[in-house]
Each structure stands twice: as structure tokens, then as C-alpha cells.
Amino acid sequence: MVKGAAMETVLLLQQCPPSVVGNFAVAVRDMNAVLLEKQQRLARAEKALLELSPQPPRSNARDFPTSRKRKMMRLEAALREESDATVGFRREIRHRRMKTFVSDTAKGLQHVS
């Protein structure tokens, strides 16, 4: 692409009057410098993407080292997991009840109309 543009530029420079050739050549040189800089930036960005290291594995926040200090924390973590499971179960039951209520209400409204 750049090679084709350079060839077209040479042909245009041969056809232009001498007063315009200097300004045109400077403009082409500046544009080539900008294109070269962008190409180098893109190459650096691609290289940086390839060099990114994978993220380290996430540690389990509730998995504690074995020590006397942390034993209570493990118990607390186990209780918290149990509580989370119970809350999730209750939330699902509530959702099912609401869904049933809405569908029953919609059926009742259809019979009335």
C-alpha cells in the first residue's frame, strides 16, 4: 500500500511545476513519518499483547492456611457458606412463589374479562 502511494507520488512530482514540487515533497515526507510512527506503535502494541502473562489463579477467600489462629475463621467460613446456600434456596422459593402468584393472577384476570 505504501509502495503504491510512493509510486503515485513520484509520478505526480514529475508532472508538477517546480514551485509546487518542494511543498508537495515535504508534505509527503511528513505523512510518511506519521505513517511510520503509527506502524511502529501498532507493532509495539501487538508485541505487548503477546507478552502479557496470564493472570495468576485466584485464591479461594474462604480457604485458609492451617494454623490455630485460623481454625475459628474456617468455622466461620463454613457457617457463611451454609448461610449463603440457605439464602439462595429461600430466594429461589420466593421467586417460584411470585411466579406462581403472577401466573395465577393473570389467569384469574382472564376469567373475569
Q: Distance from first CA to last CA of the chain, Å, rounded?
A: 71
List the chain domain ranges. 2-51, 64-113
pLDDT at 23: 82
Q: Write out pLDDT tens, residues 30-89.
A: 888 888 899 899 888 888 777 666 777 666 666 555 666 555 567 777 788 888 888 888
Section 86-108 average pLDDT: 83
* CA atoms of 85 and 70, how far apart (whole Å): 23
> Which pLDDT score, from 0 to 100, does residue 65 have?
57
Q: What is the grid cell recorded at 61? A: 477467600
